[in-house]
Amino acid sequence: MAETTGVEIQLEGVTKRYPGQREPAVDGFTMKINPGEITIFVGPSGCGKTTTMRMINRLIEPTGGRITIGGEDALSLNPDDLRRRIGYAIQQAGLFPHLTVAQNVGVVPRLLGWDKRRTRARVEEMLDLVGLDPGEFLGRFPRQLSGGQQQRVGVARALAADPPVLLMDEPFGAVDPITRGNLQDELMRLQAELRKTIVFVTHDFDEAVKLGDHIAVLGDRSRILQYDTPEAILANPADDTVAGFVGAGASLKQLTLLRVRDIELSTESATATEDESPAEVRKRLEASGKTFLLILDSQRRPLRWGHIRQVSGDSLAGVGTPVGDRVSTQSTLQDALEAILTEGGDAVVTGSRGEYLGTVQLDTVVAKIRELRAEHTS
């Protein structure tokens, strides 16, 4: 695991009153944000997420309260200096339309006075990091990019000066669901390497569960309704409002947080390699009282499920029905459940070389959900 490069952020009694508004938009917001984690602010539109986030880099000046970033008093710093030390990515990327990709990504390094060569090298490194080929993209303008590519450039720009803190305000809100999924996966991959302190705003609870180490569910005026890990919030919402926000299927959402490696695999299924004699295999099945078997190739990779009645003749070649989607130990339990439902039976788990490791049974998945619930409600 990479070292944490992020720093802790503390907000104490942070309040924002917009001129002419009777009620504050954010009222006495107090929170400690862990270094090196992704912390999500999730809540309905207008609840104050953007206002709260923008007070951290002082794009919006707080009316009251204290903010420290890595122990430093953010409100006593020069706001321009502060903003150069905090990456910021927003919906629709917010790229400068008249600047090339290279110029967009290099904005903060240039403001920091980096020379041309260092800036150029950094820009190329950042484009690589977000999966864009520098040779192809450096000279393009934002309008020549797809939505997903613009968003990647936005992330590259936010990371260019290697800030310890990254603020992301609904950054993937404007792209199609498939691109959004890819961008989320990439952010998680990046973060495993970079370990920044990321504050991420969304109104999509599923996105919060997928990305967050901690989630703050916010209500009106950024009141914190619950601040905990996704696991704990899903298992035990603090009140009806949070429960409503978590939505239906909280238990099923928990399955996206668990991996096949977190559960014990069943090795109950009978197996046979394709080159074994059907008579021998049949004897073995009868002795163990099993009706089904999994037929493997010579490298123990799963091929087909067979019924004892099909085990006859002089070879197992072609016997049974092909195994459908396999899952790996890295797959989520949701993937495993999907495989169980489409297969109509146990999900077959394979290792890195495709070799058979065991199966996941429906009962195991159900038991795991129950166990989680018990843990979080006791």
Tokens of residue 90, six digits: 């927003």
Under rule CB under 6 A, residue 57 binds ligand ADP:
no
Total binding residues for Mg ion by CB under 5 A? Answer: 1
Nearer to Mg ion, 224 or 270 (CB): 224
Q: Write the burial class of residue 89 (CB in 10 Å: 0-12 exposed, 13-18 middle, 19+ buried).
A: buried
| Cβ atoms of 61 and 82 closer than 8 Å | no
Q: What is the DSSP string of 203-268?
A: S-HHHHHHH-SEEEEE-GGG-EEEEE-HHHHHHS-SSHHHHHHH-S-HHHHHTTT-BGGGSPPB--
Partner whose footprint covers residue 45, from ligand ADP, Mg ion, none (CB < 5 to 8 Å by kind): ligand ADP
Using the minimum distance from each CB to ligand ADP, give the nearer residue, 20 or 135: 20
Q: Binding marks (x or -) toward ligand ADP, 21..40, rule CB under 6 A?
A: x---x---------------
Interaction between residue 46 and ligand ADP (CB under 6 A): yes
Q: Based on the shown chain and the rule CB under 5 A, indicate whether residue 310 belongs to the binding site for Mg ion.
A: no
C-alpha–C-alpha distance, residues 157 and 24, integer Å: 32
Instruction: Please report whether residue 202 would count as binding Mg ion according to CB under 5 A.
Output: no
Name which of 108, 109, 156, 116 is nearest 132 in CA terms.
Answer: 156
Report the site for Mg ion in 27-86 (rule: CB under 5 A).
Answer: 50
Q: Which one of 11, 31, 38, 48 is in contact with ligand ADP (CB under 6 A)?
A: 48
Nearer to Mg ion, 50 or 361 (CB): 50
Q: Give the residue among 335, 352, 338, 189 at the shortest CA–CA distance from 260.
A: 335
End-to-end CA distance of the chain: 32
Residue 169 or residue 346: which is nearer to ligand ADP going by CB?
169
Is 243 buried (19+), middle (13-18) or exposed (0-12) by CB count in 10 A? middle
Q: What are phi and psi of 89, to 5 degrees?
A: -130, 135
Nearer to ligand ADP, 35 or 173 (CB): 173
* Touching ligand ADP, residues 268-327 (CB under 6 A): none
- 358 lines the binding site for ligand ADP (CB under 6 A): no
To ligand ADP, the closest distance from the beta carbon of 265 in angstroms equals: 43
Q: Which residue's C-beta sits nearest to Mg ion?
A: 50
Q: Say if CB 225 and CB 219 are below 8 A apart.
A: yes
Residues 5-24 that bind ligand ADP (CB under 6 A): 18, 21
Residue placing its CB nearer to ligand ADP in the complex, 45 or 352: 45
Residue 203 has which token pair? Answer: 């109104």
Count of C-beta atoms within a 10 Å radius of residue 104:
24
Residues at the site binding Mg ion, with contacts judged by CB under 5 A? 50
Residues at the site binding ligand ADP, with contacts judged by CB under 6 A? 18, 21, 25, 43, 45-51
